[in-house]
Structure formats: C-alpha cells, structure tokens
Chain A
Amino acid sequence: MLKILAFTYGLIGILPIFVSDSSIMMRILTMILIWSVVASCWDLIMGYAGIFSFGQVAFYVIGAYSSAILSVSLNVPPMIAIFMAGVITAIIGVLVGIPCLKLAGPYIALVTFAFHMALEPFLKGPLGKAIGSGGSRGIISVPPIEIFGISFSSSELVPFFYLALVMTLVCSVIIVLILKSHWGTAFLALKDSEDFAASLGVSAFKYKLLVFGVTSFITGLFGALYVHYVGILSTRMLSMEVFTVLLIMIVVGGIGQYPGVVLGAVVTVTMNELLRPTGMYRLLIMGGMVVVVVLLLPDGVMGLFKKFTFSRFSGKQKQEKQAQ
C-alpha cells in the first residue's frame, strides 16, 4: 500500500522540475493532488466504513464556501480560514452523520444525495445570501493564501503545487494511519458482519461518526484550499459533472482498495483534460465509462494490478479454500 502511494506521489512531486514552464501541466498536477485526497476520503467512508455517503461533493463545496465567506466577509487570513473551514465542515459532517447512521444503507445514500441537491437552492436563495454566499453570482475575488509574505495564488503555480503536495502528503499519512490502526480493523469487522462485530464490543455508531467527522474535515480543508487557489466560487461546483468525475476516480481506482483511488485520480483528471476539446461529448464519454468500468473491472485498476502481481498467492489461497 505504502509503496504504491509513495511512488505515485513521488513521481507527481518530481514532475514539476520538467514541466514547470507549462501552465496546463501544472494545473493538471495540482488538480490531481486535490482530487486524489477528496476521492481518498470518499473511498475511506464508502469502501472501508461501508457507509453509502453521496455527500462528498457537498462537503467539498461547504469547505470552499465557508473559507471563502470567512476570508471575504470577515477578513480572516486565508491560512486560518482554511482550517476553520475544515472544522466547520467536520461539524456539519457529524450533524449529517448522526441521523444517517441510524438508517439502513440505501437510506443513507438518499439522505446524503438529497443534502447535496438541497445545498444549491440554499446557497442561491435568501438564506445563503444572508450568510454571504453571493447568491447565484457566487463569490468573486477570494484572496490567495499567504505564508510569511509569500503568496500562493493561481498565477504562481509551482509554489502552490508544493503547498498542495505537502498538505496531500500529510492527509494521506493520516488516512493510511487510520486504515492501519484499530479503526481500520474495526471497519473491516463492521463491514463483514455488523451484528457480530457489535457483539464483540465494536461500537458501529462511534466509529462511523468518527469517520464522518475525519473525512469531512479533510474534504472541507481541500475544498478551502481549492477556492483560495482558483479565487472564484459559484454553485456550479455542485453540478453532476463534478460528482461524476469524482465517482469515476473511485470506480477506476477500485472501491475499498486504498491507493487505487489515487491512481484513479491521476487517470481521471488527465483524461478529463484530454477530452476537453470534444466539448459536451466529454461528459457522455465519462458517463459511459462509469458503466463500462463497473461492469468490466470489478476492483478497478488496483484489482487488475493485484491480479497480475499476486496471482500465485491467490492461487494458493484458493487451494486452501477448496481443501477446507
């Protein structure tokens, strides 16, 4: 797990040395970093904790909006606003999580997706305007991040890329630590048999609420990072397009196959940029791709990878199973 992760991020980290002149390449690389973490959080909550949460994009947008509102309306320095946005998103995530976790699987999908759908009219309506969302016009001129007088904006791509890389690495380490710790084991136990795990004293509610909190914190953090990078924000971020792109990352990478989703992000963001000249057929291709990949690659790229590298091992396992 760690090898693939280190290799991927290492390669992405070295690439700017060669392509720092090309602004398109730098933008793609930065977006890969941001999306890979957001998609990893989704994988953590859906693939590992087994919660059908479809509110990931909503949390991302909440993070972006809270940071933008804090820094524009209240003049909070962006660096502090980002962390406050993370905390706000985590609080909202837990608030959404509490009613959700009492429900059965498909209900959670429904409530979180309806939450996503209700966010857009909320931000565009009078309630959203009252807290400073700017209505359907959105927020223009979000200030860039500044640390010790160095500004990280969309005009200086390389410094921002490395800032994003540092944050990505920190968050990835947190995710890996969660998966390796007793949390990860608890998730596996809950996913296999919730009743049996509960009888052994694993509290489903506590662990699932914790994962809701942690993933929405990280997601909100990256939403905020993104908004200070691009400088503008509107409710278009809540469109089905963004949602599907995120969905493809996790489908291509493989659900519940952790570093897979990072590879998925690399593939998807690159493909999304390459397909841009095809206009609206891009979304047609992306939608069709979800269908095809789900049908043909059950565990995504990671499944394919494991099939080739561990084929001897799995063969042995099969024999053992047959012997039993």
Chain B
Amino acid sequence: MLIEIIDVMISGLLNGSVYALMAIGLALVYGVTKAFNFAYGSLYTMGGYFAWVFLVPLNLPGGYYTVFLTAIPFLFVVGFFLEKFLVAPLRKRSDWEMKAMMLTLGLALFLDIGYIAIFGPRLKSLPDIVEGTLAIGPLVFMKQDLVIFVLSITGLLCFAWLLNNTRVGMAVQAVAQNPAGAQIVGIPKERVFAATFAISTIMVGIGGILLSQKNFVNPQASTGIMIKAWVITAFGGMGSIKGSLYAALIIGMLEAFVGYYLGMIHIDIAVLTVLLITLAFRPQGLMGRE
C-alpha cells in the first residue's frame, strides 16, 4: 500500500517536473509579451518529432547528446521567427490579444495536421534515454525516470540563472515590469519579445523530448498538453514563475493520483475542477498579482 503510494507520487513528481519546465516557459512568455500562445502544445510535439527524426530514421552518433545540442538552437530559431513574422505584426492593432489567440489556434491546427502529413498518422516511440533500473530497498526506480527528472530540474535551474544573471535575462525582466520604461532606457523591446518567445519554445520543446520517451510522439496530444500548460500557468498565477513551479508539481501529483485510483478518463475533469475552484476563490491564481 505504502509502496504503491510512493510509486504514484514518483510518477507525479516526474510529470510535475517536466510540466514545470513547460509551464514556466509559458508563464514567461505571457508575463513579458502578453501573447496567448495556443500553438504551445504543437511546439511540444515538434520537440518530440525532432528527437525522433534524429534518433530513429537518421540514427546519428551521440544519441541524445546530439539531439539536445541541435534541438536548442533549432527551437530558438523556430520560436524567434514565429514571434517576428506572425505575432509581432499583430501587436499594432487594438484587439491584438484576440487576434493572437486566433492566429496561434490556426497555427496549432496547421502544425498538427502538418506533422501527420509529413510523418504519417502512426505514433512514434522514442528510445529510452538510459536503460535499466535502480533498486533502493523495496523501491525500484527506472533510471530513465531519474534522468528525466534531473534534466528537467537542470533546465529549470539554467533558466533561473539565465533570467537573473545575464543581460538578456535582465532585459526580459525589465520589459516584463514596464515595457515603456524599458524602451526609454534603450532596451530593444521587439527583440526581447522575440527572444522570450524563443526561450519558451526551447523549454517546451525540451519538455517534449523528455516526456515523449514515456508517452509516444503524438500529434493529437498537442491540444491536451497546451491546455495542461495553460491550466498550470493560470492555477499558479498568470506570469508568476514561482507560482507555476508549485502549480506544476500539484497538478502532476493530482494527475498521478486521479489517474491511478479513479482512471485516466477523469484526469481532465479533475484538473478542470481544481482550476475552477481555485479561480473562484483566487481569481489571480495561487501566487499571481492583481
């Protein structure tokens, strides 16, 4: 019984850590650019397909090292130009928030169907990042789970370092706090927006590479992932990075327990219920500011 609970908790923690990576990317992009990105889940799937192409048909030497080294610049470029060409032109209009939502929703469908058109409708499975298991007393861990957990935490720490210790990170924070003020002191606002978008694309793409090992690369899952990332962001407080971290762990746990004890089909309903209850009592989310 206890072992069972610990197992479920571990799977919750694992999902939660990857969700945290994705949700924090989303919290960042919403906090800075105020653009509601509905194509976020499709970028997650893009990460999964990127890894699959490198590992299975091409079978490049170096395995996951090559994948991570090439995926980061690739995702950066994708995110940067996505913002530059699709979202930035909308920014001049008065109701651009609504237009951005619609555009990204169309983009999400375009990408998801595009994946099916290119790679076929069958789900792709990624090879495990490390094989084998690790036993501590009565508990048996999969080494793969541990590596995924460590990598997503490392990703989060890298992000925290980037945000607090580099010029780019400080520019991002300045724009988030006061866009007009940042522009006055000479921070190129447009470029910061694009860079933020690119960073969030990297985070969700890496999340896709990590989590697709366990769940298959599935273009139909994009919408679910996007909703999950948004629910976590809203639950934690839109634009609040610390809130998203806690929210991701809570949602990861909730999912694992509901999925194990009540059945997978109830996960979405349970998550939505928690979101509605939270928003009813705290409309700004767990740690959001008014």
B230 adjacent to A255 (CB under 8 Å): no
B95 at the interface (CB under 8 A from A): yes
Please state if B101 and A109 are interface contacts (CB–CB under 8 Å): yes
Question: Which residue of B113, B231, B280 is within 8 Å of A110 (Cβ)?
Answer: B231
CB-based nearest A residue for B104: A291
A291 to B275, CA, bound (A): 30
> Do A118 and B110 touch (CB < 8 A)?
no
Residues of A within 8 A of B280 (CB): 99, 102
Q: Does B223 contact A (CB under 8 A)?
A: yes
CB-defined contacts of A294 to chain B, threshold 8 Å: 90, 99, 102-103, 106
CA distance A53 to B269 in the complex (A): 19
Which of A71-79, A139-147, A279-287 lies at the interface? A279-287
Pairwise interchain contact A114-B272, C-beta atoms closer than 8 A: yes
Contacts of B63 in A (CB 8 A): none
Q: Interface code A295-306, partner B: CB below 8 Å = 1, 0 otherwise?
A: 100100000000
Interface 0/1 of A163-205, CB less than 8 Å to B:
0000000000000000000000000000000000000000000
Cα A106 to Cα B97 with chains together (Å) = 9
CA A284 – CA B219 in complex, angstroms? Answer: 13
Most buried by A among B101, B103, B106: B106
Pick from B102, B112, B238, B269 the residue with the most CB of A within 10 Å.
Answer: B102
Q: Are B105 and A102 in contact (CB under 8 A)?
A: no
Q: Is B188 an interface residue (CB 8 A)?
A: no
Main secondary structure of the interface of A (DSSP, over half): helix
Cα distance A114–B274 in the bound complex, in angstroms: 12
CB-CB under 8 A from B234, the residues of chain A are 107, 110-111
Identity of the chain A residue whose Cβ is nearest the Cβ of B121 in the assembled complex? A280
Q: Counting CB contacts under 8 A, is B49 at the interface?
A: no
Choose from A46, A115, A291 the contact partner of B110 (Cβ within 8 Å): A291
Cα–Cα, bound, A118→B224 (Å): 10
* CB-CB contacts below 8 Å: B76-134 with A: 86, 89-90, 93, 95, 97-99, 101-103, 105-114, 116-117
Interface pair B98/A121, CB less than 8 Å apart: no
Contact A255 B98 (CB under 8 A): yes
Query: Chain A residues near B97 (CB, 8 Å)?
Result: 52, 105-106
B288 to chain A, nearest CB (A): 10
B279 located at the interface, meaning its Cβ lies under 8 Å from any Cβ of chain A in the complex: yes
- Whether, in the assembled complex, B163 has its beta carbon less than 8 Å from a beta carbon of chain A, the answer is no
Known contacts A247-B106, A251-B102; can you find 7 more A-B pairs with CB under 8 A? A110-B231, A114-B275, A255-B95, A255-B98, A294-B99, A294-B102, A298-B93
23 contacts between A and B (CB under 8 A): A52-B98, A103-B283, A109-B101, A110-B227, A110-B231, A111-B234, A111-B279, A121-B268, A125-B269, A240-B108, A240-B109, A243-B105, A244-B109, A250-B102, A255-B95, A280-B117, A287-B110, A288-B106, A288-B110, A290-B105, A290-B106, A294-B102, A295-B86
